[in-house]
């Protein structure tokens, strides 16, 4: 048997927003914790490719775990994002009625919001809607205001949850794909290609693969299928077109295609909702983008997605065959707790899902004693683009690499990139740096800064250029064949 030196109280499988939130919650207690993630980074699957909205739960199905989790989580976001230093904008959402049928539907949605305990949702007259959002379709005939709908960055939140846990003693093993689970006396053996871990409890937060993890203990009580959602990301120049999250009146299978601001000042348009077969198919499609363009131009006619887009992306919702979230101990193996099938709103419900998992562990007999010296604050990297001139001067004095701008579009310096590479959850790929700091996420999409980031990664990680990948093994950018071209120094500024 492989190395058995690793004994943990709880081992979390999956470094998405759900798994990372659970690790963060449990790190408040005096426990030995680890998270296993098969990819090269946390937040590299569905949790990096969503709408980034911290929902209030106003339109969720009353009486469900999903609804209870979102409603309980929403009031906590200000405090959570403050201590984890993650951006949060309490911008509010407007659901836009474009017809009499829509107006009629709003009545039901308002009643549902109140049944969900979201009492501040209210009807808006057409004049009120226009005053709040002058660029909406002139056919707008009314709306609903949802004051506490907010947006954040799902990826930054996931990274922050995981980093906070690491700062408090948890371990995160990247590129560790769980391939076997074996119940043993008092716990489980968890096998990855590198080694076998022993844990008293295991949490299944493997997103789209959570059915495969359940199957490792013979639990076939649910199956997961992917539902694709495609998005446009628009240039910041059109960011001011809307100030709120703009929602259509929903359909039975989707909350609908929305227009939303992002923490970075872009607009996103999407998502579609298409059931597909392949759990790895995150390609955008011409048809999907067309539907997004049409639907969002109905809400905001001034949008011109094809001319103002800087990129597109798609994410896959983990649709559960049972029709609801599966957050409970496995019936086949009570030491395995599922946090699975979190199809929609997993970001919004993540603090409460994590709290409930903690409660289940306590009910199972795990002692949850406060961790001595627990540090709730997780400091984020100081960003030169957010600094005042005086602060920028101070940052440069402290680390002159703050004066070397690597990414012009998003104003990212070498100092920030170096810090991300050596952070508690290290960024070791181009995508990892992009997710944390945004070089490559701006207008030029990495055309200018990509080679520079690559060189900094290689230098800081002590690797050859051919050892640096876009997203992980197999996605290396510099190969032995094209190395000569890449190593000829690009022109600086
Ligand atoms: C288009 C779209 C829009 C959305 N919009 C919103 C929104 O605005 N607000 C909101 O709250 N929610 C939204 N959601 C839902 C939200 O994104 C999900 O609920 C959430 O990201 C699920 O997180 P997760 O941690 O369960 O899954 P994931 O983020 O997929 O994480 C699972 C992780 O498990 C890892 N893994 C899998 N198998 C193994 C293995 N064998 N060993 C180790 N690791 C493994 C994967 O690599 C992955 O990193 C949206 C989703 C989509 C697709």
Q: What is the pLDDT of residues 94-133, one digit of tens each?
A: 999 999 999 999 999 999 999 999 999 999 999 999 999 9
Instruction: Indicate the SS3 state at residue 13.
Output: strand
Orientation of helix 414-421 relative to helix 430-437, angle to 10°: 120
CA 423 to chain centre: 18
- Which residues are known to be catalytic? 55
Q: Is the Cβ atom of 19 under 6 angstroms away from ligand 1?
A: yes
Confidence band, pLDDT 50/70/90 cuts, at residue 252: low
C-beta of residue 198 within 8 angstroms of C-beta of residue 6: yes
Ligand 1 centroid to Cα of residue 483, in Å, is 35
Confidence band, pLDDT 50/70/90 cuts, at residue 300: very high
Give pLDDT, residue 479: 80
Give pLDDT, residue 5: 45
Q: Is the Cβ atom of 261 under 6 angstroms away from ligand 1?
A: no
Closest Cα to atom 27 of ligand 1: 207
Q: Is the Cβ atom of 228 under 6 angstroms away from ligand 1?
A: no
Mean pLDDT, rounded, for 148-170: 97
Instruction: Say yes or no to pLDDT of 244 above 70.
Output: yes
Mean pLDDT, rounded, for 171-176: 98
Burial of 328 (0-12, 13-18, 19+ CB in 10 A): middle
pLDDT above 90 covers what percent of the chain?
93
Ligand 1 centroid to Cα of residue 16, in Å, is 5
Distance, CA of 452 to CA of 491 (rounded, Å): 10
Model confidence over 429-477: pLDDT tens digits?
999 999 999 999 998 999 999 999 999 999 999 999 999 999 999 999 9
226 or 487: whose pLDDT is higher?
226
Report the atom number in ligand 1 closest to the C-alpha of 19.
25
Report the atom number in ligand 1 closest to the C-alpha of 349.
11
Among the ranges given (245-259, 291-305, 387-401), the one the predictor scored with the smallest mean pLDDT:
245-259
Report the atom number in ligand 1 closest to the C-alpha of 192.
42
C-beta of residue 187 within 8 angstroms of C-beta of residue 174: no
Pocket test for ligand 1, best of 347, 350, 431, 432 (most atoms within 8 A of CB): 347
Ligand 1 centroid to Cα of residue 17, in Å, is 6
Q: Is the Cβ atom of 344 under 6 angstroms away from ligand 1?
A: yes
Angle at 385 between CA 382 and CA 386, to 5 degrees: 65
Q: Is the Cβ atom of 209 under 6 angstroms away from ligand 1?
A: yes
Name the DSSP class of 59. T
In this prediction the pTM is 0.96
Burial of 323 (0-12, 13-18, 19+ CB in 10 A): exposed
pLDDT above 70 covers what percent of the chain?
95
Residue 187 pairs with which residues in a beta bridge?
A: 184
Q: Is the Cβ atom of 37 under 6 angstroms away from ligand 1?
A: yes
Q: Is the Cβ atom of 152 under 6 angstroms away from ligand 1?
A: no
Mean pLDDT, rounded, for 48-74: 95
Give pLDDT, residue 33: 98
Pocket test for ligand 1, best of 25, 34, 45 (most atoms within 8 A of CB): 45
Instruction: Say yes or no to pLDDT of 1 above 60.
Output: no
Q: Is the Cβ atom of 34 under 6 angstroms away from ligand 1?
A: no
Instruction: Say yes or no to pLDDT of 154 above 70.
Output: yes
Q: Return phi, psi of residue 245, to 5°.
A: -75, 125
C-beta of residue 57 within 8 angstroms of C-beta of residue 116: yes
Residues in the chain: 493
Mean pLDDT, rounded, for 384-390: 97
Confidence band, pLDDT 50/70/90 cuts, at residue 266: very high
Give pLDDT, residue 493: 44
């Amino acid at each position: 048997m492989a190395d058995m030196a690793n004994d943990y109280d709880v081992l979390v499988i999956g470094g998405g927003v759900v798994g990372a939130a659970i690790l963060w919650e449990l790190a408040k207690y005096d426990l030995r914790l680890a998270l296993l993630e098969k990819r090269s980074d946390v937040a590299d699957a569905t949790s990096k490719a969503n709408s980034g909205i911290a929902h209030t739960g106003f339109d969720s199905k009353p009486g469900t775990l999903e609804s209870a989790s979102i409603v309980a989580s929403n009031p906590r976001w200000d405090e959570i994002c403050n201590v984890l230093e993650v951006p949060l904008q309490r911008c509010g959402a407007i659901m836009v009625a474009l017809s009499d049928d829509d107006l009629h539907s709003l009545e039901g949605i308002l009643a549902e919001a109140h049944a969900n305990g979201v009492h501040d949702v209210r009807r808006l007259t057409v004049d009120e809607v226009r005053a709040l959002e002058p660029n909406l379709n002139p056919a707008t005939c009314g709306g609903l205001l949802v004051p506490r709908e907010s947006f954040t960055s799902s990826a930054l939140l996931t990274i922050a949850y995981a980093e906070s846990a690491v700062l408090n003693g948890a371990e995160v093993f990247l590129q560790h794909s769980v391939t076997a689970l074996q119940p043993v006396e008092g716990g489980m053996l968890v096998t990855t290609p590198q080694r076998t871990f022993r844990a008293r409890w295991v949490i299944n937060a493997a997103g789209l693969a959570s059915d495969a993890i359940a199957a490792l203990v013979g639990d076939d009580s649910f199956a997961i299928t992917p539902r694709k959602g495609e998005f446009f990301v628009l240039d910041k120049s059109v960011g001011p077109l809307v100030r709120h999250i703009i929602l259509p009146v929903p359909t039975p299978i989707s909350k609908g295609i929305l227009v939303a601001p992002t923490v970075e000042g872009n607009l996103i348009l999407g998502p579609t909702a298409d059931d597909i077969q392949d759990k790895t198919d995150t390609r955008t499609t011409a048809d999907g983008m067309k539907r997004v363009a049409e639907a969002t131009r109905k809400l905001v006619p001034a949008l011109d997605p094809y001319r103002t887009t800087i990129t597109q992306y798609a994410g896959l919702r983990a649709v559960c065959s049972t029709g609801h979230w599966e957050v409970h101990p496995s019936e086949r193996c009570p030491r395995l707790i599922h946090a699975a099938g979190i199809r929609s709103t997993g970001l919004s419900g993540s603090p409460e899902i994590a709290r409930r998992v903690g409660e289940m562990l306590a009910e199972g007999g795990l002692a949850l004693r406060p961790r001595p010296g627990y540090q709730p604050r997780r400091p984020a990297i100081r960003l030169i683009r957010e600094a005042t001139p005086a602060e920028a001067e101070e940052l440069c004095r402290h680390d002159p690499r703050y004066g070397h701008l690597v990414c012009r579009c998003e104003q990212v310096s070498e100092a920030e990139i170096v810090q991300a590479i050596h952070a508690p959850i290290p960024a070791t790929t181009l995508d990892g740096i992009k997710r944390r700091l945004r070089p490559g996420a701006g207008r030029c999409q990495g055309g200018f800064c990509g080679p520079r980031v690559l060189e900094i990664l290689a230098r800081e990680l002590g690797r050859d250029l051919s050892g640096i990948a876009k997203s992980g093994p197999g996605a290396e950018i510099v190969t032995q064949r094209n190395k000569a071209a890449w190593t000829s120094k690009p022109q600086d500024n």
